[in-house]
Amino acid sequence: MAVRSTKPIYLVVATTLSPSSGIGYNGSLPWKRIKKDMDFFKAVTTATSPPVPDGVLQHGKALNAVIMGKKTWDSVPRPYKPLSDRINVVVSRTGHRDLAREIEEQLNTGQKESDRPWKTVNDDKVSILKVKHAEGLDDHLTDDVAAHPIMTCQSISAALDYLENRRKGREINPLRNVFCIGGQQIYELFLNDNQLRPRCKILQTEIRKFDGPDFPIDTYFPIGLSETQSSHVQELPREEVTSELNVDLPQGDAEWTRAAATDLEGKTCRVELRVRSWQVVAS
Ligand SMILES: NC(=O)c1ccc[n+]([C@@H]2O[C@H](COP(=O)([O-])OP(=O)(O)OC[C@H]3O[C@@H](n4cnc5c(N)ncnc54)[C@H](OP(=O)(O)O)[C@@H]3O)[C@@H](O)[C@H]2O)c1
pLDDT at 137: 43
The C-alpha atoms of residue 151 and residue 100 are separated, in whole angstroms, by: 8
CA of 253 to the centre of ligand 1 (A): 28
The reply to whether 258 falls in a domain is: no
The reply to whether 243 falls in a domain is: no
22 lines ligand 1 (CB under 6 A): no
Of 193 and 252, the structure prediction assigns the larger pLDDT to 193
Question: How many structural domains compose the chain?
Answer: 1
pLDDT at 99: 96
Residue 45: CB partners within 8 Å, gap ≥ 6? 12, 64, 66, 83, 86, 179, 181
32 lines ligand 1 (CB under 6 A): no
The reply to whether 184 falls in a domain is: yes
The reply to whether 67 falls in a domain is: yes
Query: What are the CA-CA distances from residue 185 to residues 5, 134, 194 (Å)?
Result: 23, 33, 16
For residue 73, the surrounding DSSP H or E stretch is helix 70-75
187 touches 11 (CB < 8 A): yes
CA of 188 to the centre of ligand 1 (A): 10
pLDDT in tens, 42-63: 999 998 877 655 555 445 667 8
- The residue nearest atom 40 of ligand 1, judged by CA position, is 92
pLDDT in tens, 153-188: 999 999 998 888 764 445 556 788 999 999 999 999
Q: Which atom of ligand 1 is nearest the CA belonging to 154?
A: 33
CA of 70 to the centre of ligand 1 (A): 6
Phi, psi of 161 (to 5 degrees): -55, -45
- Could you give the count of Cα atoms lying within 13 Å of 261 in the half-sphere of its Cβ? 26
pLDDT in tens, 66-108: 999 999 999 999 889 999 889 899 999 999 999 999 999 998 8
Of 7 and 5, the structure prediction assigns the larger pLDDT to 7
pLDDT in tens, 228-264: 766 789 999 989 999 999 888 876 656 899 999 999 9
- The residue nearest atom 7 of ligand 1, judged by CA position, is 183
The C-alpha atoms of residue 182 and residue 67 are separated, in whole angstroms, by: 7
In the chain the first and final C-alpha atoms are separated, in Å, by 24
CA of 184 to the centre of ligand 1 (A): 6
- The residue nearest atom 10 of ligand 1, judged by CA position, is 183
CATH number of residue 147's parent domain:
3.40.430
CA of 257 to the centre of ligand 1 (A): 29
Which pairing describes strands 200-209 and 86-91: parallel, antiparallel, or unpaired?
A: unpaired
| 3-state secondary structure at position 134 | helix
pTM of the predicted structure, to 2 decimals: 0.92
The reply to whether 142 falls in a domain is: yes
The reply to whether 20 falls in a domain is: no
Q: How confident is the model at residue 140 (pLDDT cuts 50, 70, 90)?
A: very low
CA of 19 to the centre of ligand 1 (A): 20
For residue 273, the surrounding DSSP H or E stretch is strand 268-280
The reply to whether 108 falls in a domain is: yes
Q: Which residues pair with 234 in a beta bridge?
A: 279
CA of 162 to the centre of ligand 1 (A): 21
The reply to whether 85 falls in a domain is: yes
Q: Which domain holds residue 187?
A: 1-10+27-203+266-283
Q: Which atom of ligand 1 is nearest the CA belonging to 189?
A: 31
Q: Which atom of ligand 1 is nearest the CA belonging to 22?
A: 1
